[in-house]
Homo-oligomer: A and B are copies of this chain.
Amino acid sequence: MQVYKAPLRDMRFVLHEQFTDDGFGGLAAFAEHTPDLLDAVLEESAKVAEELLLPLNASGDLEGCTYENGVVRTPQGFKQAYRQFAEAGWPALAAPVEWGGQGLPEAVNKLTEEMICAANVSFSLYPGLTHGATTALQGHASDALKQAYMPKMVSGEWSGTMCLTEPHCGTDLGLLRTRADPREDGSYAITGSKIFISAGDHDLTDNIIHLVLARIAGGPAGVKGISLFLVPKFLPKDDGTPGARNGVTVAGIEHKMGLKASATCQINFDGATGWLVGEAHKGLAAMFTMMNTERVSVGVQGLGLAELAYQSAVHYAKERLQGRALSGAKNPDGPADPIIVHPDVRRMLMTIRAYAEGSRALGQWCARALDAEAHAEDPETRLRAGDFVALMTPVVKALFTDLGHEAGQLAIQVYGGHGYIREHGVEQIARDARIAMIYEGTNGIQALDLVGRKLPAHMGRSLRAFFHPVSTFLEDMAGEQDKGLKAMTAGLQQAFGALQLSTATIAQKGLKDPEEAGAAATDYLRLLGLVAMGYCFLKAARIAHRRLAEGSEETDFYRAKIVTAGFFFDRILPQATAAFLAIKSGKRAIMALEIDAF
C-alpha cells in the first residue's frame, strides 16, 4: 500500500534548524518570507500531495497514458487534478514575481517538489517541465517572447517541454539533425523528429510550448551549431489565445517500465513555426540553464520516492505478522510479531530512512545555495554559492536518484512476494524511480560532469566551496566530548580524508590520461556524496544533542535524529571505503579487455 504523509517536522528541521550557519542565510530578498509563512506553504503542499495527487498515483500507473489518432490522453483524474493544482497557484510557486509567480525561496520550493514527487512523480513532470522551460525563457528569450508566453506558462495555463533527444542522439547532442530554416518574418521553420519528450503532448493544458534544439543551416557542425527555439503546439492569436495548429504532430508515446502516467512522446516537427531563444548557435548554453535546474529537481524525485518507499515499507513492516522476535515475542497475544522486530527488516527500513533524511538535508543545503546564488547581496557569497551549486548539481542528481531507486527496491524486499505484485503499489515505486537515473543526463554523465568539468573548474574553486565548510566543521567538532558524536566525527574525518586523497589522485592521473578520470568518475561521485551526507548527518546529530541538552520536549524527534545519523555512519558510510579502493585501482581493469573480447 502506498502510504505518504508529508514529513513536515523533518522538513522544518532542515529548513529552519540545520543550515542556519551555512554562510548563505539571511537573504534580504526573502525578508518577508517568515518561517510561519514558509511553514504554511509546506502545510498546504502536504494537503495537495496527500489528498489530491497520491490517490491518483497507483491508478495512473495502471491505466497509463493513451495515444489514439494523434491525441494523447492522461489517465483518469489527471485533468481535473491538474486544473485544481493550477487554479490553486502551485505552478507559480517558484516562478519570478514579474511574470505572476510567487518567487518563493528554493529552500521551500524544493521541499514542495519533494512532496509532489513522493505522491505522484508522473504528475510532477507536467508542471516540472513547464518550470524548466520558463527558467530557460526567463534567462534567454526576447522580451516579446517572454510577454507572449511567460504569464500563461507561469500560471500553468500552458505547459512546456524540452525537446533534445533524437533517435540516434541522446547524450551526444552534437549529432542532432533537426533543422531550422529562417523565414523572412524572423521566425524559423523547424523540421525533425524528437523522441523521449516528457509531457510532449497531453490533455491537461490548452497549449504546449516546446523548447526545441535544432540547427540553423550554415551553422558550425557539432554542438557549436545548435540553437534553441520556442515552438508552440498552437500558434497564439493576436489576443494571445491559442490559434492555428502548428506543424507539430505526435507520432506515438513510449511504452515504459514505469512513470506510465507521464506521457513520453515521439514528436515530429514538419516545418513548424518557431522562434529563436537567445543567440543563434548558442542553444546548448540556453538549454543548460534549464537542464541544471532540472537536474536538481530530478534528484528531488529520487528523494520523494525514497520517502514514499520508506513510509510504505514501514506501514507494512508494522502490520505484517510473521515469525517471532529473536529477543522474545513482542506481540505475544497475536499469532506472530510484526516483521519490523527482525533486525534484517530493520536494517532495510533504516537504510531507506537514512537515504531519505540524508538526501533531504543535502538537497536543502543545495537549495539554500541556489537562493544565495540568485539573491545574496554580497558578490563573494553569490560566487561561492554558485560554485557550490555547480559542484553539487551532478551529485544531487545522480546520488539521490540512485538511492531513490534502491529505496524502492528495498521497499519491495520488505514486502516480499507482496512487493512483487501490483496490488500494493510498491513495485511501482521502483519502476517510477528507475528513469531518474537516466534522464536529464545519465548518472554516468553526471559523474563525468563532476570529475571532468566541476573539479578542474576555476582551479578547483568549486570544490573548495564544499571542502572548506567540511574542514571548518571538523575542526569545530574536534573538541566534542560526547562519545557518539566523537565516533561520527572520526568517521567523517576518515571519509573526508579518502575523498581528499581521491581528488588528488584523479587530478594527477586525469591530467595525463582523461580515461583515468572517466574510470574513477562514478565511484568518486558516490564518495563525495557520502561525505556530503555524512556532514549533514553529523550536523543534524549535533543540533539534536544540543536541543536535548537544552531540555527540548521533542525528545523522540531529536533522539531519532541521532539514531539515524548513527546508522548512516555505521552502515552506509562504509561504502565510502569501497569507493575509495575502487578509485585507487585506476582504469587498468576497466580498460584492459579488447573490445572484440567482450
Q: Which residues of A contact B (CB under 8 A)?
A: 165, 168-172, 174-175, 195-196, 254-258, 264, 314, 317-318, 321-323, 326-327, 335-336, 338, 340-350, 353, 405, 409, 412-413, 416-417, 419-423, 427, 430-431, 434-435, 437-439, 442-444, 447-448, 513-515, 517-519, 521-522, 556, 559-560, 563-564, 566-567, 569-571, 574-575, 577-582, 585-598
Contact = CB atoms under 8 A, between A and B. Distances in A.
A257 B444 contact: no
Given A327-B515, A345-B444, A563-B589, A322 B256 contact: no
* 6 smallest beta-carbon distances between A and B, as pairs: A343-B518, A570-B585, A574-B581, A326-B514, A567-B589, A257-B427
Contact of A590 (B170, B314, B559, B567): B567
Contacts of A518: 326, 342-344
A344 B521 contact: yes
B578 A574 contact: yes
A318 B597 CA distance: 11
A522 B340 contact: no
Max count, chain B CB within 10 A of own CB: residue among A345, A431, A522: A431
Contact of A522 (B344, B438, B570): B344
Q: What's the number of copies of this chain in the assembled complex?
A: 2
Given A343-B521, A577-B578, 16 more contacts: A175-B322, A257-B412, A326-B517, A327-B513, A338-B595, A344-B521, A345-B444, A413-B437, A419-B438, A427-B434, A563-B593, A563-B597, A567-B590, A570-B589, A574-B579, A574-B581
Contact of A598 (B340, B566, B567): B340
Contacts of A317: 598
B254 A421 contact: yes
Contact of A438 (B258, B420, B434, B443): B420
A589 B577 contact: no
Given A171-B322, A563-B592, A593-B564, A438 B417 contact: yes
13 contacts: A169-B322, A172-B322, A254-B421, A340-B595, A343-B515, A348-B444, A416-B438, A556-B594, A560-B593, A563-B593, A566-B592, A570-B582, A570-B586
B593 A256 contact: no
A567 B341 CA distance: 39
A410 to B, nearest CB: 11
Given A350-B593, A417-B438, A420-B434, A343 B577 contact: no
A12 to B, nearest CB: 17
Contacts of A589: 350, 563, 566-567, 569-571
Contacts of A587: 343
A254 B420 CA distance: 9
Contacts of A350: 589-590, 593
- Chain A interface mostly helix, strand, loop or mixed? helix
Nearest to A573: B581
A439 B417 contact: yes
Nearest to A587: B343
Given A255-B423, A346-B591, A593-B563, A598 B318 contact: yes
A372 to B, nearest CB: 32
A341 to B, nearest CB: 8
Given A257-B431, A437-B413, A563-B592, A347 B519 contact: yes
A394 B513 CA distance: 43
A556 B597 contact: yes
A132 to B, nearest CB: 17
A594 B330 CA distance: 12
Contact of A519 (B195, B343, B595, B596): B343
Contacts of A566: 588-589, 592
A326 to B, nearest CB: 4
Contacts of A430: 257, 434
Contacts of A338: 595
Nearest to A254: B421
A391 B344 CA distance: 19
Contacts of A314: 598
A168 B417 contact: no
B522 A347 contact: yes
Nearest to A418: B170
